[in-house]
A and B are shown apart, each in its own frame.
Chain A
Amino acid sequence: MSQEKTQTPQPARRPTGSFKHEPLSFEYPRHGHSGVAFRPLDVPEQDPARAMPGASLRQDGLERLPQLSEFDVVRHFTRLSMYNVAIDSAMYPLGSCTMKYNPRINETVARLPGFTGMHPLQPDGLSQGLLELMHILLEALKEITGFAAGTLQPAAGAQGELTGVLLIRSALEARGEHRRYMLVPDSAHGTNPASAHLAGFQVREVRSIKDGPAKGTVDTAHLAEMMDTEVAGLMLTNPNTLGVFEPEIVRIAEIVHAKGGYIYCDGANMNAQVGITRPADYGMDVIHLNLHKTFSTPHGGGGPGAGPCLCTAELEPFLPVPRVVKEGGEKDSGGKEPSYRLEWNAPQSIGKVATFHGNVGIMVRALSFILAMGPAGLREMTETAVLNAVYLRHMLKGVLKASTEAPTLHEVVFSDEGLATHGGINTMELAKRLMDYGFHPPTVYFPLTVPGALMVEPTESEPRAELDRFVEAIKAILAEADTNPELVKTAPHSAPRTRLDETRAARKPVLRWTPPE
């Protein structure tokens, strides 16, 4: 990104009331207050030093911790929340992140005491409701992806990826094969190569096609060249990070399988596929889903999410433990009531990836979403998500340059080709200026294969009027850039902060508050 040095007339400095300047909680005066009250102690009080002889105790008395009333705390965090833009308040078309509406009922059902109060190690007999819930969710995800088995344990997409590549690695080791390499397309998300590395693989990059109608998709000739018996498999995002369904997907699977490899499918883009096509049916071996994307659980400013991992019957023996097992309740079980238990014994399992059973609270929300949608609703979700993205692409034709000629599904990536003709602005500046128009910017500079990428994913949640407003905003910004480029280059002007100095933050890191000298 170019550093602009030119000085331009700054727009009026924004108000500097305390409204935009909430101190750190540590900077409030300390008056010995606490925001909580305790009921009377109903057991004899013990002095920690005497109760824990031989233990070294804290000497600093935690003097610098905040000492606030309940109301101080409410105001502090309410103000902080106001400095955030969120999907609830604005269109948030972050490509690859699937920022959709997070239904409120999911927050309500997730807070039922019969869920929140459950200990992960309590006997299975006391956990029947949640085990049943996890079973129903996993069955639904199996149906949606077409796979035979799965685990809900991974805490997020990246942990699902790690789980998936570990399954592949274990399956190969069980065959006595020590394959060293994992293929990852150059357009893949950064977590893919990072996960492959954690599973002990060396990453080899597969090229995507550089020109022509198939631009951006996997170069199958290059893949065939690279795929040999030293290679464990391929990590493939489909539709790829340009939003294009890999036209040669069947051929890709054949190439990898012919050499005894496996295909890991990054399911971050499932919002283009639910009810329309199933990864297992087109030859994938294992997939992770992001419940916090496709299945609408709130992103929470960066988690918690959940990254279930689903796989073929061949990879099933290697799934993490414990697994939820249903017993009885089938037609042939002689009328026996169904019951559920956790099976810990699986000799070939990769082991555990999470401390306990994963982000169960997120599973509850995702199932609630699936149930609200139903089969037809899920299909309608996918269709509308794709329609909205195709509509944006259509409306921005001649305004921004799409990165591919091929049809795209749930997202569209624009390149910066021609952008600089508008007053020399770049992708980041366009993105920042969108904030002043009331939008969260799209994903920028990803995928790395597209110069100055602007990756837009509106999801099914945006009404047409908002999509139209987004298109108008882009056009207005380009027009501004033609006449007053500095206005765009110094954006945002209406956000709680102007451009922040990231270089300074990284050069001289200040990573915590320390008391003033």
Chain B
Amino acid sequence: MRYIPNNAPVREDMLRQMGIPEIGELFRSIPEQLQYKRSLEVPGPLAEDEQLDLFRQLSEKNLDQGHALNSFLGAGAYRHASYLVADSLLQRGEFLTAYTPYQPEISQGTLQAIFEFQTFMTMLTGMEVANASMYDGASACAEAVLMADRLKNGRQRVLLAQSLHPLYREVVRTHTRFMGLELDTLGLEGGGAPGSSGRVDAAALKSALGDDVACVVVQQPNFFGVVEDLAPLAEAAHSAGALLIVVVNEALSLALLEPPGAAGADIVVGEAMSFGVPLYFGGPYLGFMAARDEFKRQLPGRIAGETVDTHGERGFVLTLATREQHIRREKATSNICTNQNLVMLTALINLTLLGREGLLETGRRNVSHLGYFRGGLAGLTGYRETFGGPVFNEITLTCPRPAADIVHGCLKRGVLPGLDAARLLKPGGGPPDADRLLVVAITETSRREEIDALLAALREEGK
């Protein structure tokens, strides 16, 4: 086998040196009747060119976004520019094939990268501490809820905005199912009726809050694309002694929007795949978590900190390890061990490359592209913007017919116009007319002609 340096003659020799008659002897501790005597029924072996052929064939059975398909699907997974430098650097074996930096003297590259990423995330979110990464946005959200539960010991209720991504809600439910928490829903202003803002109902929040609520979870911008007004929500939560968790799954919005920390968020979590991570059918992505400084000992996951070596040189180590499972076992703040480090590096390199200028410009371009679409939409009969609140790069439309039919029809024209929201919303779990809602994301990667093609397809299908 080409990957294995010790071939049969070498192995024979090693056995001989140890006085072991044959390789099967090595497994004598496995009871005979438990040994698998057949050959595994798995495909292979393939030579390199055969592998390439097979994977090319499989990949060609897919229709990818942006190349083969003109797509405006977002809903937590956004297509943004990724720069070649990032992919080239992260393929350096020193990054790619290292393990978790438990031995800091020979892992400074990874550790300094984590420290830089933590710095980026605190600046972007307006928080004081951030960790090295979480699996993905939804699991980060679930971990934030569990963290709030620890910080607000004894409070059992969690208020989840109806405008939180439905799959995030699902993942929170899975993670909290046996933790004795009660998940309640916080509706939209005006019940999400046509022409309402699409924001969280702040008045309903006030009445739902009580001394049994550990945290309030809202998404910014929310699942329908609407930018929330966070400050009053934070104020309401705090006055009832609850924490405000802000979930950001379009991390690029942080370039332009007020940082949640500045609006009073206690924990900010979400998905940072927008910083140049490929769509990749949902993963690997990049969960992140940031929080106020006073909560740092309750954070899950890995955290890098600055220190010095015996010569007084600056260096970095994994720190506050007493939170983690390898020390605290069942009392740990989380079970997470392996995280998403290389994806963190992708995002970090892209962020570093963009820098201040590039990040702001990318953010503004998203606004301009969505603005162009909204301009065209105004001329389409039958469609309207469902909500009146401000939007960044994603918007919900009410279609003249069921959104599923619109998607189906547009696909025949080579356009994937967005998400048929009812696919993810539970029956009765969304605004009225949920089956006619189409959530459209327009990023800087869409060309004008592509947006024109989307408008044309919507016009035809809306007839």
Contact = CB atoms under 8 A, between A and B. Distances in A.
Given A122-B416, A510-B305, A383 B230 contact: no
B398 interface: no
A81 B94 contact: yes
A45 B368 contact: yes
A368 B101 CA distance: 27
B18 A161 contact: no
Given A48-B364, A74-B89, A500-B308, A387 B65 contact: no
A460 B35 contact: no
B439 to A, nearest CB: 10
Contacts of B358: 34-36, 38
A63 B5 CA distance: 52
Given A87-B98, A196-B330, A375-B39, A505 B305 contact: yes
A490 B310 contact: yes
Contact of B355 (A34, A143, A156, A387): A34
B180 interface: yes
Given A371-B45, A460-B4, A511 B296 contact: yes
Given A36-B358, A80-B113, A83-B108, A379 B5 contact: no
Interface in A367-421: 368, 370-381, 383-384, 386-388, 390-391, 394, 406-407, 409
Contact of A119 (B6, B71, B133, B365): B71
Interface in B183-218: none
A204 to B, nearest CB: 10
Interface in B34-84: 34-36, 39-46, 48, 51-52, 54-69, 71, 73, 75-77, 79, 81, 83
Contacts of B26: 383, 386-387, 390, 407, 409
A174 interface: no
A68 to B, nearest CB: 6
A119 B281 contact: yes
B309 A501 contact: yes
B156 interface: no
B298 to A, nearest CB: 13
Given A193-B329, A353-B174, A84 B324 contact: no
30 contacts: A44-B371, A61-B360, A118-B281, A119-B279, A120-B77, A121-B73, A126-B69, A155-B284, A159-B135, A190-B325, A191-B337, A193-B329, A194-B332, A197-B331, A275-B36, A350-B177, A353-B139, A353-B171, A354-B283, A355-B165, A362-B283, A409-B26, A409-B27, A464-B6, A492-B106, A496-B108, A498-B105, A501-B309, A502-B317, A505-B319
A144 B353 contact: no
B177 A166 contact: yes
B431 interface: no
A502 B319 contact: yes
Given A120-B282, A155-B136, A498-B311, A57 B77 contact: no
B93 interface: yes
A66 B356 contact: yes
B137 interface: yes
A500 B271 CA distance: 32
B59 A374 contact: no
Given A24-B112, A55-B258, A386-B26, 15 more contacts: A62-B123, A87-B98, A115-B59, A122-B416, A132-B58, A298-B342, A301-B113, A303-B339, A304-B340, A355-B171, A360-B283, A362-B284, A492-B105, A498-B310, A512-B115
Contacts of A117: 64-67, 79, 278-279
| Max count, chain A CB within 10 A of own CB: residue among B55, B57, B76, B305 | B55
A108 B447 CA distance: 28
Contacts of B64: 113-118
A121 B438 CA distance: 13
Interface stretch (A242-250, A325-333, A477-485): A242-250
A373 B45 contact: yes
A513 B119 contact: yes
A81 to B, nearest CB: 4
A173 to B, nearest CB: 9
Contacts of B367: 46, 48, 51-52
Contacts of B151: none
- For the complex of A and B, the 6 pairs showing the least CB-CB separation, nearest first, are A356-B282, A200-B178, A114-B59, A374-B45, A117-B64, A300-B342
B325 A203 contact: no
Interface string A29-43: 010111110100111
A129 B138 contact: no
Contacts of B56: 112, 114
B40 A156 contact: no
Contacts of A45: 364, 368
Interface string A335-360: 00000000000000011111111111
| Max count, chain A CB within 10 A of own CB: residue among B6, B68, B230 | B6
B423 to A, nearest CB: 8
Contact of B75 (A82, A121, A249, A357): A121
B445 to A, nearest CB: 11
Nearest to A407: B29
Given A155-B340, A351-B173, A356 B77 contact: yes
B281 A357 contact: yes
A391 B231 contact: no
B109 A82 contact: yes
Nearest to A197: B330
B440 to A, nearest CB: 13
B416 to A, nearest CB: 6
B321 A159 contact: no
B371 A46 contact: yes
Contact of B343 (A43, A136, A304, A441): A304
A116 B279 contact: yes
Contacts of B331: 197
B46 to A, nearest CB: 5
Interface in B302-326: 302-311, 313-317, 319-322, 324-326
Contact of A25 (B54, B99, B116, B305): B116
A156 B119 CA distance: 25
B99 A97 contact: yes
Interface in B331-360: 331-332, 334-343, 345, 349, 351-360
Contacts of A63: 356
B462 interface: no
B29 to A, nearest CB: 4
A183 interface: no
Interface stretch (A218-226, A276-284, A308-316): A276-284
B430 interface: no
Contacts of B256: 48, 52, 57-58
A80 B109 CA distance: 4
Contacts of A391: 14, 17-18
Contacts of B41: 143, 375
A356 B283 contact: yes
B285 interface: yes
A128 to B, nearest CB: 5
Contacts of B227: 52, 54-55
A159 B87 CA distance: 27
B168 interface: yes
A301 B95 contact: yes
Contacts of B281: 115, 118-120, 127, 130, 356-357, 360
Interface in A237-264: 244-245, 247, 249-250
A378 B99 contact: no
B246 interface: no
Interface in B121-151: 122-124, 128-130, 132-133, 135-139, 146
B369 interface: yes
Nearest to B95: A81
A105 interface: yes
Contacts of B57: 129
B42 A370 contact: yes
A78 B307 contact: no
Contacts of B372: 43-44
A464 B5 CA distance: 8
Interface string A112-154: 1111111111110011111011001000100110100000000
